[in-house]
């Protein structure tokens, strides 16, 4: 019978396509990676906080953050005041990255980042709809699942020791890779639709106009695909716009 850790490692390799040939790897290394994969599937709240805190801090250090008196941050501050200052009780920290890239994301620790490229192509209602969608991924637990996938993939590749805690097990380069996986996570059709509905419901609850979601998706549909998860989502943007339009029409 194969050692338990070896079975887990082989399964993770198959799931994430991270190992080209399981049999060619050192069994002891596979056992250790299996242990880390199991650990990734049972991340504690403290682990999630530590990983997202580190990831967000690293990404902040690698990007230009719009100052508080900039037009971008002032716009986002206005939108933040409309959406609220917490996600399921977790305080939200809103910032703008000054870049031509079109993207926005949120992490489980309340870290919400909007790219100025997205703000340049969208009005405030559209940005609010997109940010509400990203917050929905956090509120509904999607980002936590994406974190488990990102960490498990890194664990399989690195076979790192977790003696210093999960966050401590990642080197600087691994943290960078992990962070990129988080902000470019691919969500399922069900998850994307649920996050869209979360944004719609949140705005209706606060007596805000949710139609910005429709026009935001229409604008995204006109763009070419790219690295951003926002530009390669499933279902496609036109279908998502139609879904929200139908909800608006039925007032539900």
pLDDT tens-digit readout, 130-143: 999 999 999 999 99
Per residue in 6-55, pLDDT (tens digit) is 222 222 233 233 333 333 344 444 334 445 455 556 677 888 888 899 99
User: Among the options 62, 134, 177, 192, which is catalytic?
Assistant: 134
Our answer to whether residue 134 is catalytic in this structure is yes
Give the separation between CA 56 and CA 179, rounded to whole angstroms: 8
Query: Residues 137, 115, 81, 127: what is their CA dihedral angle, to the nearest 10 degrees?
Result: -70
pLDDT of residue 13: 31
Closest CA to 80 of 98, 97, 96, 67: 96
CB environment 20-40: b (16+ within 10 A), e (fewer):
eeeeebeeeebbbbbbbbbbb
Residue 176's pLDDT band, with cuts at 50, 70 and 90, is confident
pTM of the complete model: 0.78
Question: What are the structural domain ranges in the chain?
Answer: 1-42, 47-142+186-250
Q: How far is CA 128 from the centre of its chain?
A: 17
């Amino acid at each position: 019978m194969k050692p338990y850790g070896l079975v887990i490692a082989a399964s993770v390799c198959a799931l994430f396509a991270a190992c080209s040939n399981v049999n060619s790897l050192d069994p002891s290394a596979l056992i250790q990676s299996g242990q880390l994969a199991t650990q990734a599937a049972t991340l504690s709240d403290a682990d999630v906080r530590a990983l997202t805190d580190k990831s967000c801090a690293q990404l902040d250090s690698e990007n230009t953050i719009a100052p508080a008196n900039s037009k971008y941050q002032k716009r986002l501050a206005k939108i933040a005041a409309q959406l609220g200052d917490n996600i399921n009780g977790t305080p939200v920290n809103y910032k703008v990255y000054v870049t031509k890239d079109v993207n926005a994301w949120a992490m489980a620790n309340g870290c919400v980042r909007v790219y100025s490229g997205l703000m340049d192509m969208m009005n405030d209602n559209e940005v609010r709809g997109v940010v509400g969608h990203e917050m929905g991924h956090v509120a509904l637990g999607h980002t936590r699942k994406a974190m488990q996938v990102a960490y498990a993939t890194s664990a399989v590749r690195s076979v790192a020791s977790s003696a210093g805690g999960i966050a401590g097990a990642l080197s600087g380069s691994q943290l960078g890779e992990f962070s990129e996986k988080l902000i470019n996570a691919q969500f399922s059709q069900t998850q994307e639709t649920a996050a869209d509905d979360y944004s719609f419901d949140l705005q209706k609850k606060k007596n805000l106009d949710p139609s910005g979601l429709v026009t935001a998706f229409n604008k995204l549909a006109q763009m070419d695909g790219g690295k951003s998860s926002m530009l390669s989502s499933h279902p496609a943007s036109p279908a998502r716009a139609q879904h929200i339009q139908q909800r608006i029409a039925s007032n539900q």
